[in-house]
Structure 1
Amino acid sequence: MPGLVWGPLDESDLPGLVRLASSCLRADGGLPLLQEEQTLRGRVLSGPSTGARDELGDLVAAAGLAHDPDGGSTMLGMVHPSFRRLGLGADLIHWAREHTAGRPLRVAVESLNASAEDLLSANGLVQVFAETVMRHDLRDIPFVRRPAGIRTVAFGDHTAHAFYAAYVRSFSDRPGFPDPTESEWLTWLREDHDFRPDLSRVALDEADDPVGFVTVSRSWIDQVGVVPESRGKGLGAHLTARTLSAIAGSGADEAWLCVNVDNPTARELYEKLGFTVYGTRARYTEHQHAAVVRVEHP
């Protein structure tokens, strides 16, 4: 597009990246963490990057590329709402393909919109993962009674195995289940600097078997799971409502979660509990690599 100046980005561009991400979120919703400096520094400025500036020097498009350990390359890109459908998104994809060094290209979209969907499809990329981002303002939290015979306990060294067992039994029947070892899953959990073990709970039945769990990171409900034989008894609703109260009690005025777009039952539950949709985040990859479904947590 005439009048724009393209070039690599550095730390001095961080305020402009924050403004660009905030504009995208205001227009489309999506993952609110996108506008945080830590996110943008790690996912745009940590590797090859490019940006387009208008005549005032403001960033109107930007992208960063990360080479993944498994041999792929993931681009995070953004285009200001006022500059869409002008070819800038296609320019970002072309730039990324020139810098992948032959690796398969993946695209991370944390604030999905219709123009991005059209663009990615037209450029030979297929959606392999999508989540609905949901927000709760915590002003009206419903009370959901704990099912009879159930008790919940916080995360700790003595309950870590029960959390893992509940996780596996809750999600192993889901498409694309990553099937991590107990060590891998617990390491991932503990290495999250925002993990809240005090707010995370595992539900145990009268025989002390794990039948459900919830994990919390900052004001995010990261995962809620209920084992198949305990579903339909209100346990998932109880764990979610109880966690909302705990997050509010820690001083937050809003809570967040993501739910896979192919899980309408869970989304309906969250809406009944007061969550509202705040947008969509997604992952795309080239057709020949369309089976890739792994995605980092928010």
Structure 2
Amino acid sequence: MSSDDALRPFPSRSIETHAELTPEQAEAVLALVAEAARSDGQQPVSEQGRLQLRGGAREGVSHLLLSVDGELVGYAQLEDTDPVEAPAAELVVHPAHRGHGHGRALGSALMAASGKRLRVWAHGGHAAARHLAQVLGLTLFRELRQMRRPLAGLELPDPVLPEGVGVRPYQPGKDDAAWLAVNAAAFAHHPEQGSLTQRDLDDRKAQPWFDPAGFFLAERRGELVGFHWTKVHAAEGLGEVYVLGVRPGEQGGGLGKALTTIGLRHLAGLGLPTAMLYVDADNKAAVAVYERLGFGTYETDLMYRTET
């Protein structure tokens, strides 16, 4: 959520809601998002949100385009796919058009579209986004930390895998179903990661950064028991612990630590200077593990929601 100040009348402002975007609309939104990221130093829309701009309609996803005199100056995405939680949203206003109430207009439209039952991300937790959340009557309920550590001179002990477990690279297509099943089980209580589908996986495999050599699968007797998917942000010189999962029943045996070490060594071997990851602040056990591995909090994304 990246926004602006008080609401002011804007006769030429219009908001259109679409189930899917044309390629031209998607490119215009991506350009707006990129400009906001350059200005704010933080992506205003998540990777999942950006992927959902293209490729046609997606069940439960809608796009709100805010225009002034025919120019796109604001965007919001609403995703209503969780059977329990309120619909989740992200929104952004072009940096050159802030201070005119466009963010509040988008926020009000999201509230109306969701029946006043809404969750909204404020990536980076910027002051303007926190103010908009307050104006909309939303309360803070989730903090997602981005943690980082240097990779230069990385010294980690050799990974010790549980007995009978081996690690190999992911094979696109062949391993999809097994990975999706273990991912769903490992993140059964995670509102985003645990719900990934084949289409979501295919979206990521189609991205320029995707490299199966950095996607490590742990197996015992041919059965997938854990994984560490790394990601390279080449422009930023960052290697990411993208997704790390262990199948329920396999935790506590050191597999997660071993997979983390294998992935970090891989990223360091590529010459990347820094590693990053995301973790929920209330997952104190995971935060402690990453802190022991030398990670520290770099920035925090905040999620607000209507009162339940």
Task: State TM-score, norm by structure 1.
Answer: 0.66
The amino acid that maps onto 1:208 is G
Q: Which runs of 5+ in 2 are unaligned?
A: 14-24, 55-62, 233-238
Task: Please tell me whether the aligned partners of residues 148 and 296 of structure 2 are also in contact (alpha carbons under 8 angstroms).
Answer: yes
CA distance in 2, matches of 1:281, 1:268: 19
Q: Please state if 1:123 is matched with 2:174.
A: no
Alpha carbons of structure 1 residues 178 and 253: separation in structure 2 relative to 1, 3 Å: closer
Task: Give the CA deviation at 1:264.
Answer: 1.3
Task: Please tell me whether the aligned partners of residues 24 and 79 of structure 1 are also in contact (alpha carbons under 8 angstroms).
Answer: no
Task: Give the CA deviation at 1:146.
Answer: 2.4
Task: Please tell me whether the aligned partners of residues 64 and 75 of structure 2 are also in contact (alpha carbons under 8 angstroms).
Answer: yes
Alpha carbons of structure 1 residues 49 and 177: separation in structure 2 relative to 1, 3 Å: closer
Aligned position for 1:248: 268
Alpha carbons of structure 1 residues 95 and 169: separation in structure 2 relative to 1, 3 Å: closer
SS at match of 2:212: coil
Of the three residues 220, 227, 230, the one matched with 1:213 is: 227
The amino acid that maps onto 2:272 is A
Q: Please state if 1:155 is matched with 2:175.
A: no
Of the three residues 252, 267, 279, the one matched with 1:259 is: 279
CA distance in 1, matches of 2:30, 2:178: 41
Task: Give the CA deviation at 1:281.
Answer: 1.3
CA distance in 1, matches of 2:32, 2:191: 36
The amino acid that maps onto 1:199 is G
**Which deviates more from structure 2 when the two are superposed, residues 260-269 or residues 152-161?**
152-161
Alpha carbons of structure 1 residues 118 and 32: separation in structure 2 relative to 1, 3 Å: closer
Alpha carbons of structure 1 residues 187 and 146: separation in structure 2 relative to 1, 3 Å: farther
Task: Give the CA deviation at 1:248.
Answer: 2.8
Aligned position for 2:202: 190
The amino acid that maps onto 1:142 is E
Q: Please state if 1:66 is matched with 2:66.
A: no
Alpha carbons of structure 1 residues 142 and 190: separation in structure 2 relative to 1, 3 Å: farther
Aligned position for 1:166: 182
Task: Please tell me whether the aligned partners of residues 143 and 300 of structure 2 are also in contact (alpha carbons under 8 angstroms).
Answer: yes
Aligned position for 2:219: 204
User: Matches of residues 36-51 of structure 1 in structure 2 within 5 Å?
Assistant: 47-49=64-66
CA distance in 2, matches of 1:216, 1:227: 18
Task: Give the CA deviation at 1:249.
Answer: 2.6
CA distance in 2, matches of 1:277, 1:76: 24
Aligned position for 1:226: 246
Aligned residues: 257
SS at match of 2:294: coil
SS at match of 1:102: helix
Identical pairs, percent: 22
User: Matches of residues 71-150 of structure 1 in structure 2 within 5 Å?
Assistant: 74-77=89-92, 88=99, 91-100=101-110, 102-104=112-114, 106-113=119-126, 116-117=129-130, 119-144=132-157, 145-149=159-163, 150=165
Alpha carbons of structure 1 residues 242 and 231: separation in structure 2 relative to 1, 3 Å: same
Aligned position for 1:54: none
Task: Give the CA deviation at 1:48.
Answer: 2.4
Task: Please tell me whether the aligned partners of residues 247 and 255 of structure 1 are also in contact (alpha carbons under 8 angstroms).
Answer: yes
SS at match of 1:198: helix
Q: Please state if 1:238 is matched with 2:250.
A: no
SS at match of 1:135: strand
Task: Give the CA deviation at 1:101.
Answer: 8.7
Task: Give the CA deviation at 1:263.
Answer: 0.9
Q: CA RMSD in A?
A: 4.3
CA distance in 1, matches of 2:31, 2:167: 43
Task: Please tell me whether the aligned partners of residues 33 and 44 of structure 2 are also in contact (alpha carbons under 8 angstroms).
Answer: no
Encode CA deviations 1:190-233: one digit per residue, 9 max, x unaligned: 3111333221111123x333221112233322211123433233
